[in-house]
Structure 1
Amino acid sequence: MAQIKAAPAPAPPGPPAGAAAATAAPAILAEVDAAAGVRRGAAAAGGGVGRFAVIGHRGKGMNALAAPDRRLQGGKGDSLRSFNEAARFPVDYVEFDVQVTRDGCPIIFHDNFIFTEEDGKILDKRVTDLQLEDFLQYGPQNEQGKGGKPLLRKMKDGRIVNWNVQSDDPLCTLQEAFEKVNPRLGFNVELKFDDNLEYQEEELTRILQAILKVVFDQAKDRPIIFSSFQPDAAQLMRKLQSTYPVYFLTNGGTEIYTDVRRNSLEEAIKLCLASGMQGIVSEARAIFRHPAAVPKIKEANLALLTYGTLNNVPEAVYMQHLMGVNGVIVDLVQEITEAVSELIAVPEPGTNAENLSFGAAKDAATPNFSQREISFLLRLIPELVR
Structure 2
Amino acid sequence: METGKSNGIITLPIMSRNARHTLGKVRVDFIIIKPILGYSCDMRSSFCKYWKPRTPLDVGHRGAGNSTTTAKMAKIRENTVASLKSAANHGAAFVEFDVHLSKDHVPVIYHDLTCCISMKKKVNAASVELFEIPVKDLSYDQLQLLKLAHVTALKLQDHSDPNDDECSVSDNQPFPSLHSVLEAVPEDVGFNIEIKWICQEKSGKWDGNLSTYFDMNIFLDIILKTLLENAGGRRIVFSSFDADICTMVRLKQNRYPILFLTQGQSEIYPELMDLRSRSTPFAVSFAQFENILGINVHTEDLLRNPRYIQEAKSKGLVIFCWGDDTNDPENRKLMREYGIDGLIYDRIYDWNPEQPNIFKVEQMERLKKELPAEMLRNCLCPPVNDYMCNGANCTSDDIHMEINGVANHHPA
Q: Deviations over 1:185-225 (max 9, x none)?
A: 1001100112214568x811111110011101111011000
Q: Deviations over 1:298-322 (max 9, x none)?
A: 1111111111112111111111011
> What is the identity, as a one-letter code, of the residue corresponding to 1:59?
G
Tell me how far apart the structure 1 counterparts of residues 243 and 52 of structure 2 sit (CA, whole Å): 30
Task: Specify whether residues 347 and 319 from structure 1 end up closer, same or farther in structure 2 by C-alpha distance, changes over 3 A only.
Answer: farther
Match status 1:206 vs 2:179: no
Tell me how far apart the structure 1 counterparts of residues 265 and 86 of structure 2 sit (CA, whole Å): 33
Match status 1:290 vs 2:294: no
Task: Specify whether residues 292 and 122 from structure 1 end up closer, same or farther in structure 2 by C-alpha distance, changes over 3 A only.
Answer: same
2:142 to 117, 130, 134: 134
Match status 1:253 vs 2:268: no
Q: Post-superposition shift, 1:154?
A: 2.0
Tell me how far apart the structure 1 counterparts of residues 236 and 361 of structure 2 sit (CA, whole Å): 17
Cross-structure match for 2:183: 179
Tell me how far apart the structure 1 counterparts of residues 220 and 359 of structure 2 sit (CA, whole Å): 35
| Higher normalized helix content (fraction of residues) | 1
Tell me how far apart the structure 2 counterparts of residues 80 and 123 of structure 1 sit (CA, whole Å): 26
- Conserved 8 A contact 1:312-1:336: no
1:124 to 116, 128, 132: 132
Task: Specify whether residues 337 and 199 from structure 1 end up closer, same or farther in structure 2 by C-alpha distance, changes over 3 A only.
Answer: farther
- Conserved 8 A contact 1:51-1:347: no
Cross-structure match for 1:170: 173
2:279 to 252, 258, 264: 264
Secondary structure of the structure 2 residue equivalent to 1:214: helix
Correspondence 1:182-201 to 2 at 5 A: 182-195=186-199, 196=206, 197-198=210-211
Q: Deviations over 1:264-323 (max 9, x none)?
A: 111111111111110111111111112221221011111111111121111111110110
Task: Report the count of equivalent residues.
Answer: 289
Q: Post-superposition shift, 1:350?
A: 4.4
The higher relative CO (CA closer than 8 Å, separation ≥ 6) is in: 1
> What is the identity, as a one-letter code, of the residue corresponding to 1:267?
F
- Conserved 8 A contact 1:100-1:106: yes
Cross-structure match for 1:154: 151
Q: Deviations over 1:303-349 (max 9, x none)?
A: 111111121111111110110101100102023446x99xxxx8983
Tell me how far apart the structure 2 counterparts of residues 157 and 122 of structure 1 sit (CA, whole Å): 7
Tell me how far apart the structure 2 counterparts of residues 252 and 328 of structure 1 sit (CA, whole Å): 17
Q: Post-superposition shift, 1:78?
A: 0.4
What RMSD, in angstroms, separates the aligned Cα atoms of the two structures?
2.7
Task: Specify whether residues 305 and 81 from structure 1 end up closer, same or farther in structure 2 by C-alpha distance, changes over 3 A only.
Answer: same
Q: Which is further off, 47-56 or 89-98?
A: 47-56
Tell me how far apart the structure 2 counterparts of residues 274 and 73 of structure 1 sit (CA, whole Å): 38
Tell me how far apart the structure 1 counterparts of residues 8 and 221 of structure 2 sit (CA, whole Å): 21
- Conserved 8 A contact 2:65-2:74: no
Secondary structure of the structure 1 residue equivalent to 2:89: coil
Tell me how far apart the structure 1 counterparts of residues 359 and 117 of structure 2 sit (CA, whole Å): 47
Secondary structure of the structure 2 residue equivalent to 1:87: helix
Tell me how far apart the structure 1 counterparts of residues 99 and 89 of structure 2 sit (CA, whole Å): 23
Secondary structure of the structure 1 residue equivalent to 2:104: coil
Cross-structure match for 2:320: 305
Tell me how far apart the structure 2 counterparts of residues 79 and 190 of structure 1 sit (CA, whole Å): 15
1:228 to 226, 232, 240: 240
Gaps of 5+ in 2: 1-6, 10-50, 122-128, 200-205, 364-412
> With structure 2 as the length reference, what TM-score do the two structures score?
0.65
Secondary structure of the structure 2 residue equivalent to 1:136: helix
Tell me how far apart the structure 2 counterparts of residues 232 and 100 of structure 1 sit (CA, whole Å): 18
- Conserved 8 A contact 2:67-2:75: yes
Tell me how far apart the structure 1 counterparts of residues 319 and 149 of structure 2 sit (CA, whole Å): 35
Q: Post-superposition shift, 1:105?
A: 0.9
- Conserved 8 A contact 1:57-1:94: yes
- Conserved 8 A contact 1:313-1:336: no
Q: Post-superposition shift, 1:167?
A: 5.1
Q: Deviations over 1:327-385 (max 9, x none)?
A: 100102023446x99xxxx898348xxxxxxxxxxxxxxxxxxxxxxxxxxxxxxxxxx
Secondary structure of the structure 1 residue equivalent to 2:297: strand
Cross-structure match for 2:116: 115
Task: Specify whether residues 233 and 48 from structure 1 end up closer, same or farther in structure 2 by C-alpha distance, changes over 3 A only.
Answer: closer
| Higher normalized strand content (fraction of residues) | 2
1:321 to 332, 336, 339: 336
> What is the identity, as a one-letter code, of the residue corresponding to 2:177?
T
Identity %: 24
Q: Post-superposition shift, 1:54?
A: 0.2
